[in-house]
Structure 1
């Protein structure tokens, strides 16, 4: 069924049906619901190209991927985020496009996408503490939304983020309540905003408990299984090893567990571990009982929310920048227990 046939079936003009399906405010809620119900009943799907011609939009959301971070394309966290975002885009008639560029060519890529009209907006991933992309996109006027935040950017912009500071403060407090005093932090790269905030939460909890931070217990590297393994191995081989470890990623936590097992120790008894869990589709934290105690927040849900916010901003440029701060749930698993007696 095409738009003309759907309009005839409803006894409405094609313009009214199109506006109802695209969320225009001048269409009454009753008409909108009637049109949407008919579209579902007749399995009607708008022609994206025709819709773009009618609205003057490309109906595409873009992602610019620098060469140095292209490995993120196979990262399960990125994959789950894109799954959530693409579902939201599809519901609103949008496609997604990925552009790979050499490092340092991002500005030219964004300007080109805007000049060509290739995309209606872009999603930014992995914001740094000081991220120049946000200022650039505000200046050139290309709609965008950020997965995360940039601490040193004061200008308003649309973002969705996890409350990393409070989640890692809460995780650290949980370990302190179990009697742990030597708590290590295996963090992501702290030029990244999320990692800086997680470190802030960890340090705030130690300070409130009157415990001095020990730089020997804090490390910052790319979040891979191998790096988690190496960092944990070094900690356990130190003169005064920790009794608990905070890991910034489920992927890193797998390496943490491997190093603990290789040392002949039992996770949850000899040493406790808390990680951040993005509730990944293909990397679940156990089933009935979680393997790891974790701060859990769905990255797929974050992708869905962010895409919806960006499309709202594209549809009405006068809509103020929107923000969503998602709280992580502390899920208790088998990886934590009371601090071992010396």
Structure 2
């Protein structure tokens, strides 16, 4: 059976074809398109069919992982100018599933996509414990994997839109800067621990207005921007690990750390991650890994589709 998997983010939309069966997932090929290059979802699909030289009828199912909250068969991503309504936009009879992009990232943790994950903090994972996945890119995604008596289930989250806590007067000054610069009533994860958040933080420290790529190129071990951003990223990770009690470990994913691993693989990050008056020892024993495979969302979407094909009623949900 063949599945068309997609990982549609605020910056890029990735597509790949997978052959699924009783064995491991087999990727056959794919393409990447800029999300902003499409005027709507239908025009994006037209470019996909042209790029793949195939149409929806050539697949047994399609699975679309999207960077936003999924409600039934619709999604309106906060960082993309267009939305998706499968009842209106999906062509033909081929079954199509819609899921949150970080639900796909969580599923990817059960695939070969994380085989080369980088250890940020060693630890001992409890195979019966929850696993947390968090990652910064255009937004700050969250998802948790919960073990069941047989298999597992994934719990999506929009934690990136929850308010972000700052500590002390210096960080308080940055919080005020953020409110003035963005016009937002309060700071939240998508504003702080993202590519745009990196640019805002660098502007606060240097007065220079640079793109995230330009800022990343300037980061040095003694850079205040790196110090603060690593602490903020670790704080977001710590909060989510405690929220879901991630004794199964925590994976950091997303394009920002994948392209710039130093934002998490440093002592500022590690010190802040275990900075908890009550649970420092618990946090110190959690394995933290960086999944730098930017195609992992595709593998997660394909695994989701494989499980749905194995339980045909899942395709009717």
Shared fold (TM-score, shorter chain, > 0.5): no
More contact order relative to length (CA 8 Å, sep ≥ 6): 2
TM superposition score normalised by structure 1? 0.36
Structure with bigger gyration radius: 1
TM superposition score normalised by structure 2? 0.38
